[in-house]
Amino acid sequence: MRRTGFLAALCLSTALTALPALAAEKAMQAVDIGWLSKERDLPPVLSNLDEIPADKGVAGARLGISDNDTTGRFMGHDYTLTELVVPLEGDVADGFRQLRDSGHRLIVTDLTAEELQTVAALPEAADTLIFNAGAPDDALRQTACLANVLHTLPSRAMLADALAQFLVKKQWREWFLVIGPATGDKAFADAIRRAAARFGAEIVAEKEWQWDHDIRRTAHEEIPLVTQDVDYQMLIVADERGDFGEYIPYNTWEPTLVAGTQGLVPTAWHKVVEQWGAVQLQNRFEELAGRPMRPEDYAAWAAVRSVGEAVTRENTIEFEPVNAFIRSDAFELAGFKGRKLTYRPWSGQLRQPIPLAAPRALVALAPMEGFLHQTTELDTLGYDAPEVDCDR
Q: What is the DSSP string of 92-148?
A: HHHHHHHHHHTT--EEEEE--HHHHHHHHTSGGGTT-EEEESS---HHHHHTS--TT
Closest distance to another protein from the beta carbon of 223 (Å): 39
Closest distance to another protein from the beta carbon of 330 (Å): 11
Out of 40, 50, 74, 214, point to the residue binding another protein (CB under 8 A). Answer: 74
Out of 339, 384, 390, 392, point to the residue binding another protein (CB under 8 A). Answer: 339
Rg over alpha carbons for the chain, rounded to the nearest Å, is 22
Out of 16, 49, 54, 88, point to the residue binding another protein (CB under 8 A). Answer: 16
Query: Between helices 278-289 and 58-75, what is the axis angle to 10°?
Result: 110
Cα gap 311→179, rounded to integer Å: 44
Query: Between helices 295-314 and 319-326, what is the axis angle to 10°?
Result: 120
Burial 330-342 (b: 16+ CB within 10 A, else e): ebebebbbebebb
| Phi, psi angles (nearest 5°) of residue 10 | -110, 120
Closest distance to another protein from the beta carbon of 283 (Å): 6
Q: What is the DSSP string of 336-389?
A: SSSSEE-B-TTT-BBP--EEEEETTEEEEEESPTT---SS-GGGGSS--GGG--
Out of 126, 283, 290, 385, point to the residue binding another protein (CB under 8 A). Answer: 283
Number of residues that bind another protein (CB under 8 A): 39
Listed in order, strand segments (DSSP E) in 209-313 are: 234-238, 257-260, 265-266
Cα gap 287→75, rounded to integer Å: 25
**Per CB under 8 A, 1 contacts another protein:** yes
In angstroms, the first-to-last Cα distance of the chain is 46
Out of 194, 241, 313, 344, point to the residue binding another protein (CB under 8 A). Answer: 313
Give the x-and-dash track for 341-370 against another protein (CB under 8 A).
Answer: ------------------------------
Give the x-and-dash track for 82-121 against another protein (CB under 8 A).
Answer: ----------------------------------------
- Residue from 286, 326, 283 nearest 307 by CA: 326
Out of 103, 334, 345, 389, point to the residue binding another protein (CB under 8 A). Answer: 334
Cα gap 389→391, rounded to integer Å: 7
Closest distance to another protein from the beta carbon of 336 (Å): 9
**Per CB under 8 A, 20 contacts another protein:** yes
Out of 32, 73, 174, 392, point to the residue binding another protein (CB under 8 A). Answer: 73
**Which one of 49-57, 116-124, 173-181, 330-338 is the stretch in contact with another protein (CB under 8 A)?**
330-338
**Which one of 14-22, 103-111, 137-145, 260-268 is the stretch in contact with another protein (CB under 8 A)?**
14-22
**Which one of 70-78, 109-117, 128-136, 199-207 is the stretch in contact with another protein (CB under 8 A)?**
70-78
The footprint of another protein on residues 28-67 (CB under 8 A) is 67
Query: Please, what sign has the CA dihedral across residues 137, 141, 142, 148?
Result: positive
| Phi, psi angles (nearest 5°) of residue 348 | 75, 10
Cα gap 162→354, rounded to integer Å: 6
Out of 236, 333, 364, 365, point to the residue binding another protein (CB under 8 A). Answer: 333
Out of 127, 218, 280, 318, point to the residue binding another protein (CB under 8 A). Answer: 280
Note whether 264 and 363 are within 8 A (CB).
Answer: yes
Closest distance to another protein from the beta carbon of 324 (Å): 19
**Which one of 4-12, 80-88, 90-98, 289-297 is the stretch in contact with another protein (CB under 8 A)?**
4-12
**Per CB under 8 A, 163 contacts another protein:** no
Residue 290, H or E segment: none
Note whether 186 and 381 are within 8 A (CB).
Answer: no
**Which one of 6-14, 158-166, 231-239, 318-326 is the stretch in contact with another protein (CB under 8 A)?**
6-14
**Which one of 208-216, 218-226, 242-250, 337-345 is the stretch in contact with another protein (CB under 8 A)?**
337-345
Residues that bind another protein (CB under 8 A): 1-4, 6-13, 15-22, 67, 70-71, 73-74, 277, 280, 283-284, 312-313, 332-334, 338-340, 376-377
